[in-house]
Structure 1
Amino acid sequence: MRQQWRLLLLALGFFTRLPLPAIPDFQESDLKEAARYLPLVGWLVGFVAALVIGLLSDSVPLEVAIILSMAVTAYMTGGFHEDGLADSADGLGGGWKKEQVLTIMKDSRLGSYGALALILALLLKFESLLHIPLPLLPLVLFAGHATSRLAAVLVMATQEYVRDEGKAKPMASKLSKTSLLLATVFGLLPMLFLPLQMWAAMLPVVIVWLWFSRILKKRLGGYTGDCLGAMQQLTEIAFYLGVLIWS
């Protein structure tokens, strides 16, 4: 249990900006197994997102509550996944060869493809959440943040890391069966709190995951840390759209 708590703290420290105690005897290799708790980090982010809306929806317009919820969760994660989406859009949109794509993705400047991707993603997320029935919204946020992070873990499990270095490099080794099983359980467990028909909302998630995974395999031969962030954002939006369709 002590080791699992350590891995959870590592996952929280890597994927959020929460103030956490220092991890004694930290080794980068520990991060590989900490990936099992990425969907569990999604539980926390989704809970905070739902809490903000729950606290504010009676005192401010729902539109404002949703925007503030999105802002709080972006601050909580340091815009980690949004940054990955923007960098991936810039690289895949502006580069032709693998080396060009990777070079553009590493550039800290925001390009036109990245700006468009961010704007469209935020608008889609906001409009989708706005039209989901309010009683269902907290559970949808909880599940959406968990399942989308599972989607990122599944990329790690099925493809190779293509950079020689990078922030996600310590996590790039193939996940153990135990880690993959735990990540899957944590990623799908929140779905049990939703009405049964809402499981159909996973269909757009699967479609987007297959589509973007194919792009990564074809264009890069694998993934980078930015690609994981992009996958999380794309599948989170796909889940909300799926909920809209079947609710």
Structure 2
Amino acid sequence: MMRAAATAIQFLTRLPVPGGAVTPEAFLQEIGRALRLFPLVGAGIGALTALALWLVDLVLPFALAVLVALAIEARLTGALHEDALADLCDGAGGGRSPEDALRIMKDSRVGAFGVLGLGFGVALRAGGLMASGGAAQAAVVLIVAGCLGRLLMVAVMAVVPPVPGREGLGAAVGPSANAKGLGVAALLAAPVLLLGILSDARAMAVAGGAGVLFLFWYRGWLRRHLGGSTGDAVGAAGYVGIVMATLAFAMER
């Protein structure tokens, strides 16, 4: 489990964590167990972002502190989810066929749809945190949303098979996800989910319901427009989950 935890941290962040998978073969062996820890690692990322927010809030207005904290988080994660969201929006906006969309998503350049999608996503998340009312409540939202977003990633991998014949991180990781792994991931994330319920049960109900509805819709959309899931599709789902959870808590303010 320690190696699986280190592998999960290596996958989702840029932190130099010893003890994880050091070769592609070892990565494939460990990623099945590591996926179950994604929600907890997401909560940890949220906690570090919350700490940055609290420190910056001591010297800057709260709204500016939110923006700085999100910038620090992007550096911490290597903008993993932001990059995936931009790529998916480019493919969805510019691709007229699954092959065309996949080709666009593979291009390292970011187009107009990617810029707009990422801009709106970051703006919604930042606005939701600003509406939380202060650093203490925003810290809870960051932790819970970070957990829920990565749980949605595991759910997408469990219900949507990778695009057939396509190489890449999504194809390598996707087969390791299944319903049992999703259940274990949710069980391990239970303490974080309980934190969200104790903070605002209605917001958690809204976030959970929105996540389930999005999963069913996204499953069909990916099959129609891409032919399956990809690494970008999974990473983008993680960011969408974070945004939805953040807005759910903002609605209850």
Q: Deviations over 1:111-136 (max 9, x none)?
A: 11101111111111111110112232
Give the 3 Å change call, closer, same or farther, for CA 222–176 of structure 1 in structure 2: closer
Instruction: Give the whole-Å Cα distance in 1 for the aligned partners of 2:74 and 2:98.
Output: 29
Structure 1 23/188 Cα, relative in aligned 2: closer, same or farther at 3 Å?
closer
Q: Quick one: which amino acid aligns to residue 205 of structure 2?
A: A
Q: Does 1:167 align with 2:137?
A: no
Q: Kindly tell me: are residues 62 and 80 of structure 1, through their superposed partners in 2, closer, same or farther at Cα, counting changes over 3 Å? A: same
| Alignment pair present for 1:227 and 2:233 | yes
Summarize deviations over 1:78-122 as a string: whole Å, max 9, x none.
001110000000011111111111111100000111011111111
With over 3 angstroms needed to count, the CA separation of the structure-2 counterparts of 1:178 and 1:204, relative to structure 1, is: closer
TM-score scaled by structure 1?
Answer: 0.92
Q: CA deviation at 1:8?
A: 0.8
Measured after TM superposition, the shift of residue 176 of structure 1 is 4.9
Is contact 2:157-2:178 (8 Å) kept?
no
Taking a change above 3 Å as real, the CA distance of residues 25 and 205 of structure 1, as seen in their structure-2 partners, is closer
Q: Quick check: 172-181 or 141-150, which moved more? A: 172-181
Partner of 1:93: 93
CA distance in 2, matches of 1:181, 1:46: 22
Worse-matched range after superposition: 101-110 or 20-29: 20-29
Task: Show the 5 A alignment for 1:1-247.
Answer: 4-21=1-18, 23=20, 26=23, 27-30=26-29, 31-134=31-134, 135-162=136-163, 164-176=166-178, 178-193=180-195, 194-202=199-207, 203-247=209-253
The 3-state SS of whatever aligns with 2:246 is helix
Once the two structures are TM-superposed, the CA of residue 50 in structure 1 deviates from its matched residue by 0.9
Unaligned runs of 5+ in 2: none
Q: Does the 8 Å contact 1:7/1:33 carry over to 2? A: yes
How far apart in 2 are the matches of 1:238 and 1:156? 19
**Percent identity over paired residues:** 31
Provide, for residues 218-240 of structure 1, a one-character-per-residue CA deviation record: whole Å limited to 9, x for no partner: 21231100001111111211111
> Structure 1: how far apart are the matches of 2:239 and 2:138?
18
Contact 2:13–2:78 (CA<8 Å) still a contact in 1?
yes
Gaps of 5+ in 1: none
Q: Secondary structure at the match of 1:52?
A: helix
Aligned in 2, Cα 1:151/1:188: closer, same or farther, shift over 3 Å? farther
Amino acid at match of 1:138: A
Specify whether residues 196 and 24 from structure 1 end up closer, same or farther in structure 2 by C-alpha distance, changes over 3 A only: closer
Write the distance in 2 (CA, Å) between the matches of 1:176 and 1:237: 24
Asked if the contact 2:90–2:105 (Cα under 8 Å) also holds between the matched residues in 1, the reply is yes
Distance of aligned partners of 1:29 and 1:242 in 2 relative to their CA distance in 1, 3 Å threshold? same
Q: Distance in 1 between matches of 2:21 and 2:105?
A: 33
Secondary structure at the aligned position of 1:28 is classed as helix
Q: For 1:44-88, what per-residue CA distance to the aligned partner results, in whole angstroms no more than 9, with x for missing partners?
A: 110011111122223210011101110111001100111000000
Offset from partner CA, 1:7-51 (integer Å, 9 cap, x none):
111111111100122546742322233111111110111001111
**CA–CA distance in structure 1, aligned partners of residues 126 and 106 of structure 2:** 28
SS in 2 for 1:121: helix
